[in-house]
A and B are shown apart, each in its own frame.
Chain A
Amino acid sequence: MRNNKPPSFASRIYSVWYRHMRVYTRHLFSNGFPPFMEPLILLAGIGLGLGKYIERMDGVPYIQFLVPGLIVAPAMFTATFECTFGTFIRLEFDKAYDGMLGSPLTVNNLIIGEIFWAGTKGMFFSFAVLSVVLVFGVVPPHSYIFTPFIGFFTGAMFATIALTFTSFIKTINHINFYITGFISPMFFFSGVIFPLNTLPSSIRLFAELLPLVHSVRIVRAMATSHFEIHLLGDVLYIVLSITIFGFFAIQRFKKRMID
């Protein structure tokens, strides 16, 4: 029965992911229902109210303009909460990482597992929005079918950024700065609610630096099946962010946990 080799890298990452999945699905209803509720409320609000004032945006009915952004924005929010509050609590209050580091896992495994989990949650949240808009027939299904994968990468990207931030903070209250100062404004300036090309050019340049912009642009391209070469830049942005911030997060947590 005794195996004398520790589990492989992949199974270690999977075991960390599995731990998060077990914790999340333990409260299946309270965790799994709201992601479907949120888009319902949004659609109702727009259908009944806002949509009456704004009929078209960027040449399409407003509701159709909104959907691509609404699919990836929840992935950003959920990954952000998971890897700020969630991570900080596991690190400092529950000491869950302390226990895990007593088993055959390294800091590297913990962080990569965390990123995969946040990506999975991002994909689930994107999927939830997609199912709601499909049920209401707001958008045609065929062009949207793969968009939850962009939710995965959006989640993973925001996880790495949030983890890097969380690795520096000393109290949980510092997270408020990150959320109100960085994440919330991003929702408004990433081309989710209005197109960026109407912004003054200086602000537009700044907006190009925001991570969510690139996720939204990819989903929008998928939705219209209109792919252009500059989309590669958006893909590159996401891949590089995950790699660079992921690397920093691992280094920072190593320093913080193994002194």
Chain B
Amino acid sequence: MSSIVIKVEHLHKTYGPLKAVNDLSFEVNRSVCHGFLGPNGAGKTTTMKILYGRNQRDSFPSSKVNVFGYDPGQDELQIKFFSGVVPQEDNLDSELNVHQNLEVYSKFYGMGKKAAQARIDELLEFMELSEKHKGRIRELSGGMKRRLSIVRAILHDPQLLILDEPTTGLDPQVRHLIWSKLRQLKENGVTILLTTHYMEEAFQICDVITIMDKGRKMMEGEPQSLLSEHVEQFVLETRNINPVSPLQMKFNRDLIRLDDSHKLPMYYSNDFTALKNLSDQLEQKEYNLRQSNLEDLFLKVTGRTLNEEQ
């Protein structure tokens, strides 16, 4: 089952002086959910757009993009025909209602009227939107709009689904619903590419993640193994309540790593007891001792300071 369906080699994209994508290479296997993580301006969206021919890559002889056997530079239509795209910004047709929006898109995909009708009913049910099928777009909540955008993207039963920040700005219930639906799609054989800056999202649904920063690939692998390989197991976060800085604390540098690049120092270690002992120097309110997560990894890789796009 683990056949490669997307292969990108040495991808570059320049906008004037800005290198949006800088020598990016990756592979995606069939029926896998591959997540692209990175701060705003990392080049995630540009990469997605290049894959379905919406943006043009820089023409280097060494640059190669292969999506299910097609090159988006030449076979844009073929790729878009077996892919579904859920954009970052909702672009549903506000002049049409829910059902008409889908009907119009079924025509774009060349679906017959009957097949389209059955599929629309089935998918509205699947995304729990059946009640809204005559609803106006303006009256839908953010979560409903996003779910409708997903329905629109999978109308024609695509093999590849590309989602650009699918759950940004949505409430937790909707996010969990969307995640579970995406898992179901993946089980049905759909290959999923998504961009996100929610670590939890990456952890929940991605089999593989690529962390990007400033157009470059920083790291790639399974979320769990990336985490265990690159970040200590536990973190002691401090909150500076007293005028006495937690920075002045004494600790064993062999066991504990201090990250004070941000205002509040964080202590990382694989030795829980060592951190526990360290935390004894602080008051209860001044710290949080927890397991490390993908966010810690993300911040370690992409840095804590803001870039000009953020």
A19 interface hit (Cβ, 8 Å)? yes
Q: Is the CB of A96 within 8 A of B93?
A: yes
Q: Is the CB of B87 within 8 A of A22?
A: no
Give chain B residues whose Cβ lies under 8 Å from the Cβ of A95: 87, 89, 91
Question: Which one of A11, A19, A100 has the highest number of Cβ atoms from chain B below 10 Å of its Cβ?
Answer: A19
CA distance A128 to B84 in the complex (A): 41
CA distance A1 to B116 in the complex (A): 11
Q: Is the CB of B95 within 8 A of A102?
A: no
Q: Is the CB of B109 within 8 A of A259?
A: no
Q: Given contacts A258-B55, A259-B15, are A103 and B91 in contact (CB under 8 A)? A: no
Give chain A residues whose Cβ lies under 8 Å from the Cβ of B230: none
B76 interface hit (Cβ, 8 Å)? yes
Of A2-10, A56-64, A117-125, the segment with at least 4 beta carbons within 8 Å of chain B is A2-10
Q: Is the CB of B77 within 8 A of A102?
A: no
Near B by CB (< 8 A), chain A positions 12-27 give 12, 14-15, 18-19, 22-23, 26
Near A by CB (< 8 A), chain B positions 97-140 give 100, 103-105, 107-110, 115
Give chain A residues whose Cβ lies under 8 Å from the Cβ of B100: 22, 26
Q: Is the CB of B80 within 8 A of A259?
A: no
CA distance A24 to B152 in the complex (A): 21
Q: Is the CB of A22 within 8 A of B96?
A: yes
Give chain B residues whose Cβ lies under 8 Å from the Cβ of A181: none
A96 contact from B15, B56, B91, B107, Cβ within 8 A: B91
Q: Given contacts A1-B115, A26-B100, are A103 and B109 in contact (CB under 8 A)? A: yes
A94 interface hit (Cβ, 8 Å)? yes
B157 interface hit (Cβ, 8 Å)? yes
Near B by CB (< 8 A), chain A positions 99-151 give 99-106
Q: Given contacts A6-B81, A6-B110, A23-B95, are A106 and B104 in contact (CB under 8 A)? A: no
A98 interface hit (Cβ, 8 Å)? yes
Q: Is the CB of A105 within 8 A of B104?
A: no
Give chain B residues whose Cβ lies under 8 Å from the Cβ of A96: 91, 93
Give chain A residues whose Cβ lies under 8 Å from the Cβ of B153: 102
Q: Is the CB of B95 within 8 A of A259?
A: no
Give chain A residues whose Cβ lies under 8 Å from the Cβ of B93: 19, 23, 94, 96, 99
Q: Is the CB of A103 within 8 A of B105?
A: yes
B37 interface hit (Cβ, 8 Å)? no
Number of A-B contacts (CB under 8 A): 85
Output the least CB separation between A51 and chain B (Å).
Answer: 40
CA distance A95 to B52 in the complex (A): 17
Closest to A11 in B: B110
Output the least CB separation between B137 and chain A (Å).
Answer: 10
CA distance A5 to B85 in the complex (A): 18
Output the least CB separation between A132 and chain B (Å).
Answer: 28
Q: Is the CB of A26 within 8 A of B55?
A: no
Q: Given contacts A22-B104, A23-B93, are A104 and B81 in contact (CB under 8 A)? A: yes
A98 contact from B82, B91, B152, Cβ within 8 A: B91
Q: Is the CB of A94 within 8 A of B91?
A: yes
Bits for A161-197, please: 1 = Cβ < 8 Å to B, else 0.
0000000000000000000000000000000000000
B290 interface hit (Cβ, 8 Å)? no
CA distance A71 to B113 in the complex (A): 36
B107 contact from A15, A94, A106, Cβ within 8 A: A15
CA distance A200 to B245 in the complex (A): 88
Output the least CB separation between A95 and chain B (Å).
Answer: 4
Give chain A residues whose Cβ lies under 8 Å from the Cβ of B15: 259
B54 contact from A11, A23, A102, Cβ within 8 A: A102
Q: Is the CB of A104 within 8 A of B54?
A: no
CA distance A26 to B96 in the complex (A): 7
Q: Given contacts A23-B93, A96-B91, A102-B87, are A18 and B54 in contact (CB under 8 A)? A: no
CA distance A11 to B115 in the complex (A): 17
What are 11 A-B contacts with C-beta separation under 8 Å? A4-B82, A12-B108, A15-B107, A18-B107, A19-B107, A94-B93, A95-B91, A96-B91, A96-B93, A102-B85, A258-B55
Task: Please give me the 6 A-B residue pairs with the lowest Cβ-Cβ distance, nearest first.
Answer: A7-B110, A102-B85, A95-B91, A99-B91, A103-B108, A15-B107
A residues within 8 Å of B by Cβ?
1-7, 11-12, 14-15, 18-19, 22-23, 26, 94-96, 98-106, 258-259
